[in-house]
A and B are shown apart, each in its own frame.
Chain A
Amino acid sequence: MTSSSRPMPGLLRSLFSQAGSIGSFGGRAILVAFRPPFEFREIVRQIYMIGWRSLPLVATAGLAIGVVLSMHTRATMERFGAEAMIPAALAIALLAETGPLMTGLLVSGRVGAGIGAELGGMRVTEQIDALESLAVDSFHHLAVTRIIACMIAMPILTTVMNFSGLVGGFLSETAVSNVSFQLYFRQAFAGIGFTDYVPPTLKTIVFGFIIGTVSSCMGYTTTGGSEGIGRASTRSVVFSSMLLIVVNVLLVRMIFLLFPEGAL
């Protein structure tokens, strides 16, 4: 038997199969999203559940990341006597990459696991069948609304992460150099342009789509009782985080192609 006709290893086949089902799930979600009923009430409820309830986690993480990044930046900048550049360096690092990616990973952990387990539980306890029996399109009502809510919540959460990161950086800096709030933020935003902030923040809409689609797909297609719910929850986090990191590489490359002035 030649190598080309050898059967695909189980793990690889399973990975391709999962990728295929996530892809078709996302494609179906895009098509269904433009069909009535538009489920505005459920989308608002999901934005509250996904966005508002993630705020404390994102704000706290942002603050801590800001402090840590500021300490690292100071340690490097001091060597070159460029302490005045610390706020700008921190702002660019945070706004262009760290803020969006960290928000994506945090949300995929908190929200992805939640959606995977919630929809998995609904599948196992026949609540999804109950929705269908009540003449409700369960795919639209459960999956599409969560995907849209993730897409709306992500840029907002990223903005919160960026701001709290800058506040964390300021707290760290002011403790060392006694810099004022106004001066710190003036220096931080002095070097920030459109391409450093807007495209990286908007790319998180794609992150939201990935998190919503992967976790909804894992939960909605759950089989196998409580073990299946656990599996759906874990896979939601693992697959959405992995996909998010890989897609981020492509998005950054695309941003540099579209906005060459942003490339360092």
Chain B
Amino acid sequence: MTSTDQAIRFEDVTKAFDGRPVLDHVSFDVPRGQACCILGRSGTGKSVTLKLLLGLLKPDQGKIYVNDVQIDSLGSAALVEVRKTIGFLFQYSALFDSLSVGENVAFPLRRHTRMSEPEIEKCVRERLGAVGLEKEIERMPLDLSGGMRKRVGLARALALQPSILLVDEPSSGLDPITTREIDNLLGDLKTAGKTTMVVVTHNVPSVRRIGDKVIILHEGHVLAEGTSKELDRNTDVVVQQFMNSEAEVEHAI
């Protein structure tokens, strides 16, 4: 497989905080147009991985390629250009609370396009319509439920039609029905095939619904990677604990 088939490449990446390694020589890649889910216990470097991909953090060692551009050595101006091709859905949505829902989605369009105000409004309505929130365009983020905020965050992340979407804990704090709605939205994106996704989650049912590829991070290393069916057959105890966790939860309920 040539390098251009990979939208994202992590090569031997190490990142430590206060001397404590969070990622230790981690390597993986994500083929273009595919959805990769990263599973792992809290504190195993999943969110750090996303922030490294966006250039919000720099690795201590190793190389990170996004669309064949090595981003770990880029200056801030060049990094801005790379970020225009990446959408990021934050764990708690990170909507700008001084702006309305519509203004949040319009923000990247106003910053990075030469669209007129009527064109921006049309585009904002389209993006909000796609996540079922066109009627909420005037509301403020603090007036929305967690699930609605997440959907607005998704609409904002997709405003510039990025080729890569990074998603941090899409089901965090949401009920199972809303989680499924968010998964369906991400699934629709995957089906369209134009967006490469990296989804960090604890939720194994979401992984089965969304992921073409699954990576399990454990103690700073890639413990296993493959499709969810391949990981189901993996005999490692920790991998099995992850993959069977939904059955345990259902059993407990």
Number of inter-chain CB pairs below 8 Å: 48
* Segment 108-165 of A: residues with Cβ below 8 Å from B: 125-127, 129-130, 132-137
CA distance A130 to B94 in the complex (A): 6
Q: Is the CB of A132 within 8 A of B83?
A: yes
CA distance A81 to B91 in the complex (A): 73
Q: Is the CB of A129 within 8 A of B51?
A: yes
CA distance A137 to B111 in the complex (A): 11
Q: Is the CB of B107 within 8 A of A134?
A: yes
Closest chain A residue to B104 by CB distance? A130
* Segment 75-115 of A: residues with Cβ below 8 Å from B: none
CA distance A42 to B51 in the complex (A): 26
Q: Is the CB of A125 within 8 A of B80?
A: no
CA distance A248 to B88 in the complex (A): 45
Q: What residues on B are CB-neighbors of A130 within 8 Å?
A: 88, 90, 94-96
Q: Is the CB of A133 within 8 A of B56?
A: yes
CA distance A126 to B156 in the complex (A): 15
Q: Is B112 an interface residue (CB 8 A)?
A: yes
Q: Is the CB of A135 within 8 A of B90?
A: no
Question: How far is the CB of A36 from the nearest CB of chain B, in Å?
Answer: 10
Q: Is the CB of B83 within 8 A of A135?
A: yes
CA distance A220 to B235 in the complex (A): 47
CA distance A38 to B86 in the complex (A): 24
Q: Is the CB of B81 within 8 A of A135?
A: yes
CA distance A239 to B83 in the complex (A): 35
* Segment 46-92 of B: residues with Cβ below 8 Å from A: 51, 54-56, 76, 80-81, 83-84, 86-88, 90-92
Q: Is the CB of B56 within 8 A of A129?
A: yes
Q: Is the CB of B56 within 8 A of A134?
A: no
Do A126 and B94 form a contact, CB below 8 Å, given A132-B56, A135-B111? yes
Q: What residues on A are CB-neighbors of B111 within 8 Å?
A: 134-136
Q: Is the CB of B88 within 8 A of A127?
A: no
Dominant SS among interface residues on chain A: loop
CA distance A129 to B86 in the complex (A): 13
CA distance A137 to B83 in the complex (A): 11
Question: How far is the CB of B214 from the nearest CB of chain A, in Å?
Answer: 24
Question: How far is the CB of B144 from the nearest CB of chain A, in Å?
Answer: 14
Closest chain A residue to B80 by CB distance? A135
Number of residues in B with C-beta < 8 Å to the partner?
A: 25
Of the candidates B54, B81, B95, the one whose C-beta lies within 8 Å of that of A133 is: B54
Q: Is B248 an interface residue (CB 8 A)?
A: no
Q: Is the CB of A126 within 8 A of B83?
A: no
Q: A-B pairs with the 8 shortest C-beta distances?
A: A133-B88, A130-B94, A135-B83, A126-B94, A135-B84, A134-B108, A135-B80, A126-B90
Of the candidates A125, A127, A129, A135, the one whose C-beta lies within 8 Å of that of B108 is: A135
Q: Is the CB of A137 within 8 A of B97?
A: no
CA distance A190 to B92 in the complex (A): 62
* Segment 96-121 of B: residues with Cβ below 8 Å from A: 96-97, 107-108, 111-112
Question: How far is the CB of A47 from the nearest CB of chain B, in Å?
Answer: 16
As a 0/1 sequence over residues 162 to 187 of chain A, the CB contacts with chain B under 8 angstroms (1 = contact) are: 00000000000000000000000000
Closest chain B residue to A136 by CB distance? B111
**Pairs A–B under 8 Å by Cβ, sample size 24:** A125-B97, A126-B92, A126-B94, A127-B95, A127-B97, A129-B94, A130-B88, A130-B95, A130-B96, A132-B54, A132-B55, A132-B56, A133-B87, A133-B88, A133-B157, A134-B83, A134-B108, A134-B111, A135-B80, A135-B108, A135-B112, A136-B80, A137-B76, A137-B80
CA distance A40 to B234 in the complex (A): 57
CA distance A125 to B55 in the complex (A): 19
* Segment 43-90 of A: residues with Cβ below 8 Å from B: none
Question: How far is the CB of A232 from the nearest CB of chain B, in Å?
Answer: 17
CA distance A133 to B79 in the complex (A): 10
Closest chain A residue to B86 by CB distance? A133
Q: What residues on B are CB-neighbors of A134 within 8 Å?
A: 83, 107-108, 111, 156
Question: How far is the CB of A121 from the nearest CB of chain B, in Å?
Answer: 8
Closest chain B residue to A132 by CB distance? B56
Question: How far is the CB of A221 from the nearest CB of chain B, in Å?
Answer: 15
Q: What residues on B are CB-neighbors of A133 within 8 Å?
A: 54, 56, 83, 86-88, 90, 157
Question: How far is the CB of A127 from the nearest CB of chain B, in Å?
Answer: 5
Most buried by B among A129, A133, A135: A133
CA distance A238 to B126 in the complex (A): 47
- Taking A130-B88, A132-B56, A133-B54 as given, write out 19 further A-B residue pairs in contact, using a Cβ cutoff of 8 Å, ordered by the A residue number: A125-B97, A126-B94, A127-B95, A127-B96, A127-B97, A129-B90, A130-B90, A130-B95, A132-B83, A133-B86, A133-B87, A134-B83, A134-B107, A134-B111, A135-B80, A135-B84, A136-B111, A137-B76, A137-B80
